[in-house]
């Protein structure tokens, strides 16, 4: 019985680690939308592409503290990217997100950032 629970826990961790949609932080009722952007890049044959998204963008400023970052995969078959928060994020005024696509698949995500 103990082994079955451990196996299910392992599968849960693996599925979360490779999910196409990601969430960092928690949105409160007092937070407002800082960024609501759809990010789309076409596929390149036999190549896994890596993209970085910085908040704020180059030569921009952000005085709001980020409380939540939501990346929603727009592909219906969960073939979206593997996402990683590289630096910053909730509790900071900046963030850097790495999005790595699967081979021969493009990038199609909606990025929503909340803060106050």
pLDDT at 60 (0 to 100): 81
C-alpha distance from residue 56 to each of 25, 31, 61, 100 (Å): 17, 17, 6, 20
- Given this model, what pLDDT does residue 32 score? 93
Cα–Cα nearest to 82, from 103, 56, 65: 103
The pTM score is 0.75
- Looking at residue 92, what is its pLDDT? 93
């Amino acid at each position: 019985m103990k082994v079955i629970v451990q196996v299910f826990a392992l599968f849960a961790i693996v599925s979360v680690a490779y999910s196409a949609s990601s969430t960092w932080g928690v949105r409160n009722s007092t937070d407002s939308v800082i960024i609501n952007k759809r990010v789309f890049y076409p596929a390149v044959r036999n190549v896994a592409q890596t993209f970085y998204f910085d908040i704020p963008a180059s030569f921009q400023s952000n005085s709001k503290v980020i409380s939540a970052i939501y990346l929603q995969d727009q592909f219906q078959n969960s073939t979206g990217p593997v996402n990683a928060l590289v630096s910053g994020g909730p509790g900071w005024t900046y963030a850097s997100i790495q999005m790595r696509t699967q081979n021969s698949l493009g990038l199609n995500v909606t990025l929503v950032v909340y803060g106050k």
